[in-house]
Each structure stands twice: as structure tokens, then as C-alpha cells.
Structure 1
């Protein structure tokens, strides 16, 4: 039984304008009647539904028309293989993002829990790439552009080198500001590192959360709680600090940074 476009549309659940567009694109060929109306049969219905199915795989009408005009089933299979590989890559990225969200939740929970407190934990290695040179000034050239492309897998970081931490005469630590990342993200995304970057091996750490008005000039008393904890528990600092800015708030236009700070420690 043949149908006009409107009754045909109601039968197969596809809008009349879509059906007309498929006809104008040369995908279906209904018979034209003397009165100028087109009549559609079961073959046109099946082809129309198949076109909708193929569009769901991401093919445009031009590609679908090519398949209908002589492309082989093998070509269709190869095209789906390419799509499968792309989707697997997207799934992998989505899984990494989910893991990253869970990691960031853990960082934030630590920040809420550790203001004025210290805790120990075992953690992985990290890299940090600074844009400052330790003198409260910008470095002339960095690889931060490539790191910037990989948020949220990198984070805003502050690093204090180990020699500064060990200097008993220092009153203000010059923080190296930049971006940081867990080592598996550095490896996953092949983030560039060089001799200006800071590597913090994995191991046993102590951490706290501080608030400070400056992240490139951190007063000794801000980290006093970590030094005292290490002393009373017979630890020594074994690497530079790791630091992640959790939040910035303004107090009369002056920034207040919430900074999670961790240091790898070893028994004395």
C-alpha cells in the first residue's frame, strides 16, 4: 500500500520535512503522481529508517548516499572500526576525568579537614613546572602552554625547594608558582618536563592546609606546624614541597589562598 508523505510520516514516526529532505538528497525515490504528490511504499519506509540508523553512527547524508551507490559492506565495517577506536579513546578520557574528579574531591576533603592540623599519608610521585624563577618574577619561557591543554589533569601548584626548607635563617620562602600533576598523568599525556621542573618522588608524606595572602612569598610560620610535626615524630624533610591551590577568596580585593601543602618525609 502506498501512502502520501503525511500518512507515511505517521506510520514510521519520522517528520515529513525529514522525509522530503531525504527525497531531495537522492536517498529515496517515491513515485510522483499526476497530481504532483509523491507516494511512498514499504521500500521507502525501510530505506528511510535505515538512513536514520546510519546517521546515528555519525555518518552524514553524503556518506550514506555513497554507501548506497556502490560502497561495499567491508567499507562499512572499516568505518565502524574507526568509530570504535575513537569511542574507546573518548571512554578512556572519560574514565580518567572521573578518576580526576574523585582525586580532587579527596584534595578538597583534606583541605577542609586539615586547617590547623597535620596528617600522614602515602602518595605517588608528582611533577611541577614553574612559571616563576624563585625571585617573585616570571620566567621568560616555559612549556606551560602544553600543560594548560590538559586541565583538569594538572593543577595550580606552588613548590618550595628542599634547600630553602632546610635553611634555618630563612624567614620567607620564595614559592615557585606554576602547574603540577601526578606522575601518571604526566606520562599519559606526555607532558614536557625539563631541568627547571620539580620532581617529587612517591613515598610517605605529611600535609596540612594553610591560608596565605601570597603564594610566591610564604612565611616560615605558615609551615611551622609541619616542621614541628616532623620534629616530634622524628622525621626529616626528604624533598621539595608539593602544593595545590584549592581556592582563592577575596577580602576587600586582596586574595586569600587556600593552599594544601605536602612534604615527603623519611625517618631521621
Structure 2
């Protein structure tokens, strides 16, 4: 919106200057350069006085130029400032959202990714395309995201320790609620959707007292909830890694050492 308004003001401004220049050339018999110069200093209300209209029609034209062009000129300045401040505000909000996403993965997201991946029979495909390393470039991230968008997400519920998953999400219940309450994440629809899916699974698990011996129909219901999370969290995880690689390389280095595809979460640099 700010950019459109700026373009409109700029178009009108240059149109007024052009009309004023051509008119002064004709009415005041000025050269093209002098007419342009006079139009600009008139519209911008500078008015050095070195060139001024000498004919009645020229004076009327100058007044019309001031009234029409002056407001347009200041409109350009206002629109430009508004656009700059809007971009800055948008950048600040984006940084806050990235920080919230980082907190989510540090607190619970990375552990959740690890558990879901290990319950996926197609882990070989994921390992080949998502085993992130320090050598990864934007092209690697782009190809990995394309793979995830086409991937058939599924999990073997027998490979998931549901009581342990219930404990993980229950222990982070207050944390998840605070994330959902944060107004900044409302602008990030995909991450908000992921949080809602995680919170829903937490509620489903918390209200089943015998997860270890749940009936098959119940396990199938939970599988759909887990699959909903799985299909969203990997893409968000990939975007998160792409972000920290550019902005926090030291943290990206840490994530590469504890990637969910490794057998352990040992971040030791050397032995």
C-alpha cells in the first residue's frame, strides 16, 4: 500500500513538473533548462527568486504549480518515510518471529523432529536429502524443500513411545501456550498451524490414561494427528536451519552436530 501511494504521488509530481516546464517555456519564453529549474524550485517551495514569472499568465501558472505540485512533493516525502518505517517495522516483526521459532525448536521442536524421523520407514530418503552440513548452500535448502513438498509423510506408531511423547509435550505445555499467545506468530500462518497441531496432539495424549495399551482404532486416530505435525514440522525445521545459517552461523554449526539423523545428540566437536 505504501509503495503504491508513493508511485501515485511520484507520477503526479513528475506530470506536474513536466506540464509546468512546457508551460513556462511557452508563456515566459524560457529555455528548457530554465523552465525545468523554475518548475522544480516552485513545486518544492524553495523559491530562490533568481527566476520569476513576468507575465500575468506566468504568475497564475506559478500559483497553480505551487498549489498542485507542492502538496504532491510533500506527499512523496511522507509516503517515502512511511514506506521506510513500514519496512523497518516489518523487519523487526520478522526477527521476533524467527526468534520465537528458534525457541520452539530449541525447547521441544528438535526433539520432536528426531522422534518422528526415527518412526519413519522412509528415513533413508530423508537422510539423503536432509542431512544438513556446514557445506550446505541456498541451492541445497531449495532442493531439500522441494523433496519435502513431494514426500509421502507417514509414521509407524509402534516405533513411537507415546507415554514418553506425552511426557515431553506435557512438560512443555506452559511453553506452548505462551507461544500461541504471542501476537507476533499470527503473521506466520504456517508456524501457527504447526503450533496448533502440536498443542492438539498434547491434549489428545493427555486425555488418554492408558497410552501403552490403547486400542488400534485409537492409535490410528493419533497417527493422523502425528502425521499432521510431521508434514509441517520438517519444512519449518528446514526454514529454521536456513535462517540461522545466514544469521547465526555458530548456532547452525551446533545444529549440524546434533542433526536428528545422527545416532546421538552429542555436540562434542572433537574427541
| TM-score normalised according to structure 1 size | 0.30
Relative to total residues, which structure has the larger strand share, 1 or 2? 1
Relative to total residues, which structure has the larger helix share, 1 or 2? 2
